[in-house]
Every structure is written in structure tokens, then in C-alpha cells.
Amino acid sequence: MRDSREIYFRLEKLPSRAALEREWRALDAAGAHSFFLSWSWINAMLSSWPERFSLLRASRGDSTHALALVTWRHGWQAHLFPVRQAFLNTIGDPQADGVMIEHNGFALAGVEEGALWLGLLEFFAEGAFGARELVVPGMSQHKGALPREISSAENIRFAYRTDLRKVAETGVAQCVSRNTRQQLRRNLRDAGGNVAITAAKDKDEALAYFAELKALHIRSWEKRRKHHAFDNPIFEPFHHAVISTGIEDGSVELLRLEAGSRLLGYLYNFQRNGVVSSYQSGFAEEVARPGYLCHAAAMEHYAARGLLTYDFLAGTNQLKSSLGLERYELCWRRYRRPSLGVIAEQLAHWAVQRAKPAM
């Protein structure tokens, strides 16, 4: 007889989209998980790759407490040994994963996240995934101990965010450094007035804003001869699906920002549980530093509405480090069961460390 306090995992064939939506939205209503694990994002993944996923369910007793998507792919360990990999809430294809999930994990409610991760890794260690590696991109740092037979490899990326309660008390200018504060005031004066924000009212207007964001984004990045998000052919149709679902329930917002009669740009943001995730942008170049003006205005806009955090997400640049008051870490992690490939990677790492000169 099962212990009603224990978490049990099982892999299932996906149910109908309507049935899955009902279950997922029930967890959304009760859970503290990120936007990237909400139905708006998950539905876009299923619409883009409908045949690729299985459902991972975590239950306690007769109640479902967590859901995630899983897919499989063949990769390599130590560039020599083939390995079957299971991917959590992502495809495992570099182009498809260019849409960039962050704050990855489970849609969950009524269960402690640490216990859930421990249960998942034990499930993986038992061989239930039929894979030697479990790949979880864009997760928050895992704090718990690993099962004895599981090792991990990770790639850490820094991200920035700001507590909007501080912004609500003093405004953005008083939260940032003196140099950034002076630049914001000078740029705002040069732009010709206070920043006005208009949010798209419905799906059609949101998609129109997204198209204008795309044009500005491409112009700016191509001018600098750099690759941009829209180079990926999957990016735009995927986000059309995200917008189409999220604009209806208020979890997606497209903003147009102007100063006087001048267009500054567009922001494409997600909202969930008090967190604003600043996902994509496109800025006009008729004024100096439009990105700073847009994000500063958006931070005050959301602070006035009582939201808690403005998250610039993974990646580092001068804008994020200037307006983001807290630096934190996201982790692209591979959990690994014992194999020749794992042993080879560990030996190679040991040899590199031994070869480094003593400090």
C-alpha cells in the first residue's frame, strides 16, 4: 500500500489538449511556479512540437501535485560516447531551444519544491526515464543533496532583477547608482518629456505591437552586425502562440513607450505571481539610451500596480547591471547516471585541474 505522504512519479502519454489544459490551469491557479511553467508557455510548446512530449506527473495519494513535459534525444558524453538524454520542458534541439526557457522546473501546488526535486532524481536514478542524462536548462540553483549514484554538470549564467517594492517607495532614480540616475534624468530631458506607456488591449493589438518590436529589434541588431532573436525561424511563430494565450489571461503584456511625440520602443513582458519577466524588446534610435528610459518607466509602471519583482532574466549587459539591483544565478544542468562517458568526462576534468599551475 502506498504511503499517502510520499511523492510518486510516472510518465504518461499526453492526454487531449483540453484535458491537459484543465489540469495545468488548476496548478497555475494554486502554484507559485514561474511564467515559463504556466499554461501560456506550455501550450505554445505543445502547439509547436505536438508529437514530441510525454507527461511527467507527480502525485501524492490520489492528488496530482506537479506536472512537467519530457522529451528524449541522443547526445554525446566526452565527445566519444553516445548517450540517451531526457529533457525537462524543452526539446533538446539548439534551434528549438532558442526560445529560451528560464526558471524551469514543475508546475506545482501543495508540495515542497525540494522534496519534489529529490523525488524526481530518485526516479531518474532508478532508470525510469530510460536515459543516462536528465537535462534541465534554465533552472534556479538546486540546493538539495543528490542521490549517491547521481552526478551533475552545470553551466551557470548570471541574471539581474529588482525589488519593485523599493521602486514603489522612492522611484527608480533613487534606487540606482548616482551615475545611472544622472544619465536617466539627462536622457529623459533630451527625449522631450515624461514617458507614456500604452499596453496592448487585445490579441490583435498585441501582435501588431510585436511586429513593430520585431522591426526595431532587427534594425538595431543588424546595424551592429550581430545575430538577433528573430534569426531563429521558430522564435516568431512560437511567441505568436504565447501571446495568443497569455494576452487573454493577463500573463503577457506588450507595451508601447513614448516620450512626448517620440517613440522610444516596445517591451514584451510576462507576469506571474508578482514577478514581471522582461523577455524581449525593440527600441527606436531617435533618442539616446531608449532602453534605459523604457525599462525604468516600466519598472515604475509595475511598481505602481503592486507587482513585486522586475526580472531582466539571464544574460549580462550594462543596462541590466545598471537597473537590476540584484545579481542571481540560473543553471543549465545535466544530471547523470553512471556510465563510461561520465567517467571519461570526470577524468578529463581531473587532468585539466592537475595541469593548472599552482596559485
Same structural domain, 51 and 90: yes
Which stretch of 25-34, 74-83, 189-198, 246-255 has the lowest confidence by average pLDDT?
Answer: 74-83
Residue 350 in this model has a pLDDT that exceeds 70? no
CA separation (Å) from 58 to 7, 10, 268? Answer: 6, 7, 32
Give dist(CA 169, CA 195) in Å, integer: 19
Residue 309 in this model has a pLDDT that exceeds 90? yes
pLDDT of residue 145: 78
Residue 1 lies in a domain: no
Total tally of structural domains belonging to the chain: 2
pLDDT of residue 2: 46
Which stretch of 38-47, 97-106, 304-313 has the lowest confidence by average pLDDT?
Answer: 97-106
Same structural domain, 138 and 182: no
pLDDT of residue 42: 97
Q: Averaged over 206-214, what is the pLDDT?
A: 98
Q: Tell me, what DSSP letter sits at residue 197?
A: E
Q: Please give the share of the chain, as a percent, with pLDDT higher than 90.
A: 76
Give dist(CA 248, CA 220) in Å, integer: 30
* Neighbour-count burial for 327-355, b at 16+ CB within 10 Å, e otherwise: eeebbbbbbbbebebbeebeeeeeeeeee
pLDDT digits (tens, 9 = 90+) for 125-147: 999 999 999 999 999 876 677 88
Give dist(CA 2, CA 4) in Å, integer: 6
pLDDT of residue 1: 39
Same structural domain, 265 and 344: no
pLDDT digits (tens, 9 = 90+) for 160-201: 999 999 999 999 999 999 999 999 999 999 888 889 999 999
Domain of 143, CATH number, reads 3.40.630
Same structural domain, 348 and 242: no
Residue 303 lies in a domain: yes
Is the CB of residue 162 less than 8 Å from the CB of residue 175? Answer: yes
Confidence of residue 153 (pLDDT cuts 50, 70, 90): confident
Residue 258 lies in a domain: yes
pLDDT of residue 359: 46
Residue 145 lies in a domain: yes
If you average pLDDT over every residue of the chain, what do you get? 91
* ∠ Cα 154 158 163 (to 5°): 130
Same structural domain, 185 and 38: no
Cα–Cα nearest to 132, from 94, 86, 91: 86
Residue 308 lies in a domain: yes
Same structural domain, 111 and 177: no
Give dist(CA 138, CA 148) in Å, integer: 24
Domain of 210, CATH number, reads 3.40.630.30
* 341-345 contacts, C-beta under 8 A, 24 or more apart: 341/76, 341/77, 341/78, 341/80, 341/81, 341/83, 341/132, 342/77, 342/132, 342/151, 344/77, 344/78, 344/80, 344/81, 345/77, 345/78, 345/153
Give dist(CA 91, CA 106) in Å, integer: 16
Which stretch of 213-217, 320-324, 327-331, 338-342 has the lowest confidence by average pLDDT?
Answer: 338-342
Same structural domain, 174 and 270: yes
Cα–Cα nearest to 72, from 57, 58, 59, 82: 82
Question: Which structural domain, as residue segments, surrounds residue 287?
Answer: 160-327
* ∠ Cα 225 226 229 (to 5°): 135
Same structural domain, 98 and 173: no
Residue 208 lies in a domain: yes
Same structural domain, 171 and 275: yes
Give dist(CA 90, CA 93) in Å, integer: 8
Same structural domain, 186 and 220: yes
Is the CB of residue 211 less than 8 Å from the CB of residue 200? Answer: no
Model confidence pTM above 0.75: yes
Residue 210 in this model has a pLDDT that exceeds 70? yes
Strand partners, 263: 258
Residue 120 lies in a domain: yes
The residue assigned the cell 525540494 is 114
pLDDT digits (tens, 9 = 90+) for 80-129: 788 999 999 999 888 888 888 999 999 999 998 989 999 999 999 999 99
pLDDT of residue 356: 66
